[in-house]
Structure 1
C-alpha cells in the first residue's frame, strides 16, 4: 500500500481500517462524532502517515513488526504502555512508539500526529559497516538522546514526507534507496541503539564527541550555540567542553568553526569569482567579520579566502 487516504466518523469503520493498515487492534471511544482522518505517503518499506483523531480513542494493539516513530503535533497520547514502560506524549514529542515485536496500548486524546514506519532490518543494514556483531540493531530507548536530536530527526522526516509525495521519487529506485538510508541513519543518530553501544566500546572518542559533531554537521547553516551542542550530545556544557579538549584537542565551538570554514572553502573553490564574493559566501556560513574569518581561514588552509576564490 504505497499511499492512502481515509476519512470517517464511524468508530467501527475506523477500527476496521486501522486493522487493515497497521495491525490487529481494538479501539474504543465515547464520542458520537468519532472524526478520523488519515493520509499516507510511502515507498518500498517506508511509510509516513498523518493522523487526525478528533475524539478520545483508546487502543490495544498487537505488535506492528516495524519501527514506528510517532510525533505529536497537537493534543496528546496518554497512558501509552509497551515493553514494561508507560509514558505520555505531548506536542513536540517524537518517540519510538513500541518495539517491533511488542504489543502496545493507550489513549489518543483529540490529537494530530504523524507515524513513520519502516522495516527494522533497515537499521541493521545501514549500521552494518564495520560491526563485529551481526545481530539485529535495536533501539535502546523510546526517546531520543535529546530535544535537539529529536528536532533534527523531525526535520528529516518532514523532508522525507515531501520526497515520498513526489512522483519522481516513486519512479527512481536510486532515490528511494537514498531516502531509506537517510531515514535509518537519522534514527540511529537520534536514538540510543545497540550499534552505538558497540562503537562506544571500540572508539577511543566518547559518544559525547560523536553526537556533538554529528549535530554540528547537520546544522552548520543554523545559529547553534554551545548549549544546543551540549543538549544534542546529552550532557552539560562543561562536560562537552571537557570531552572535546581531552579527545579532539579543541573546543566545541572551535570544531564548529573548522567545519564551517571547510564549507566556505568548498564553496569558494566551486564559485565563479565574477559572480560571487568572499563576504557573501562567508556570511552564508555564519562569518560576518571578514578580518577574523580571513585570519582563521589563513591559519587553517595556508592561504587567504580571496586567493581560493580567484583560482
Structure 2
C-alpha cells in the first residue's frame, strides 16, 4: 500500500506533492504573516487515494478540469469555500463537496489551519462500479450532486465508512493496513458514495435483478472456501462466476441465508480458529491471528469467536 507523510515550507514542493496525490493545480498563499507550511499524509488503495491535507494559513487552489477522477472533500475543522466546477459549495465537517472530472475547480480555505480529508476516485473505477450497480452502460461523466449532507441518513453511513480511511491515513501500518481489509474497504467507500450522492442512475440502481441459479451460488461459495485469504470484494466474486453484483447478493440471500461478505467472514473465522489451535502461544498472539484473517477490531473478533466456539480465542491459543 503506497503511503506518503510529509511536511514542507517550500511552496513548489507542496504544490508538486499535492498534485501527485490528487490533481495538478495552482497554489496561492493568501496569508503571508506567519510563514508557509503544508502537511500531507495519504495512502493509495488501488483506484482510491485518501489523504489529510493541512496548510499553516489561508490559501487557494485552482485546477483545470480534473479529467481522470472524481473527488470528495470534507474539512475536519473549519470551512472550505469551493467551486466544484458546477456549483458553489461551503464544505464543512457536516457537508462534503463532490467534484466531477468535467469542471475546473477552486478551493479557498485553511484560514485557521485545520485538516481536510480528500478522497480521489479514479474515473474508470467509479464508472465501472456504477455500471455494475445499475446494470446500465455509463458512457459519460456521472453528474454527481456537488453536495453531500453528512447529517442525512445516507451521508452519515457513508462518512462512517470513509472515516476508516482517515484512521488508515493516520496509521498506515496499523491493523487496517491488511490487504484483506483495505481493498474491500476502498470498494465499500466507493459503492456507498454512489448510494449516498444523488445522480441520474439512482432509480436504475434500485431495480432488483434476476437471481442467479443455485449452481452459480455454489460456485461462489466454493471459491470463498478455497481462497479465504484473497481480498475479495463482492464485485470480484460476481465477475468470477459471471453474474452481476446485485444478482449475486440476492442469490446468497436466497440460497445461503447471508451476504457474500458475511459468509467470507465465517470462513475466515474458521481459518483463525485453526491457526489458534495450531499456534505456539509463546510465539503468536490473538491479535496477530485476527489481523492475518482481516479482523481489525480484536474485541469484535473475540465476541464472534466466543459465539461460534463457546470460549475466548485466548483460551484456544493456550490450549485450555
Query: TM-score of the superposition, structure 1-length normalised?
Result: 0.57
> Given the alignment, which residue of 76, 82, 90 partners 2:92?
90
1:115 to 118, 141, 153: 118
Q: Quick check: 1:106 aligned with 2:107?
A: yes
The change in CA–CA distance for 1:13 and 1:184 in structure 2 (over 3 A counts) is closer
Q: Alpha-carbon deviation of 1:150? A: 2.0
Q: How has the CA–CA distance of structure 1 residues 31 and 66 changed in structure 2, closer, same or farther, with 3 Å as cutoff? A: same
SS of residue in 1 equivalent to 2:201: helix
1:39·1:50 contact (CA, 8 Å) conserved in 2?
Answer: yes
1:93 deviates by 2.2
Unaligned runs of 5+ in 2: 209-302, 312-320
- SS for the counterpart of 2:110 is strand
Deviation at 1:107, TM superposition (A): 0.9
- The aligned length equals 210
Specify every segment of 5 or more residues in structure 1 that has no aligned partner in the other structure, as ranges.
204-266, 276-311
Asked if 2 retains the 8 angstrom alpha-carbon contact of 1:23 and 1:61, the reply is yes
Cα root mean square deviation, aligned: 3.4
Report the 3-state secondary structure (helix = DSSP H, G, I; strand = E; otherwise coil) of the residue aligned with 1:183. helix
Which residue is 1:76 aligned to?
Answer: 79
Kindly provide the CA deviation profile for residues 87-118 of structure 1, in whole angstroms up to 9, marking residues without a partner as x. 2222332231x212322013123331110112
SS for the counterpart of 2:57 is strand
Contact 2:18 2:40 in 1 (8 A): no
Instruction: Identify the residue that residue 14 of structure 1 maps to in structure 2.
Output: 14
Query: Counterpart in 2 of 1:31?
Result: 32
User: Hey, what does 2:164 align to over in structure 1?
Assistant: 159
Hey, what's the Cα distance between the residues in 2 that align with 1:15 and 1:123? 26
Asked if the contact 1:53–1:108 (Cα under 8 Å) also holds between the matched residues in 2, the reply is no
* Contact 2:73 2:116 survives alignment (8 Å): yes
Over 3 Å counting, the alpha-carbon distance change for 1:8 and 1:182 in structure 2 is same
Distance 1:130 1:158 in 2: 23
**Can you list the C-alpha shifts for 1:99-149, whole angstroms capped at 9, x where unaligned?**
123220131233311101121332333333474521157243012266232
SS of the residue aligned with 2:203?
A: helix
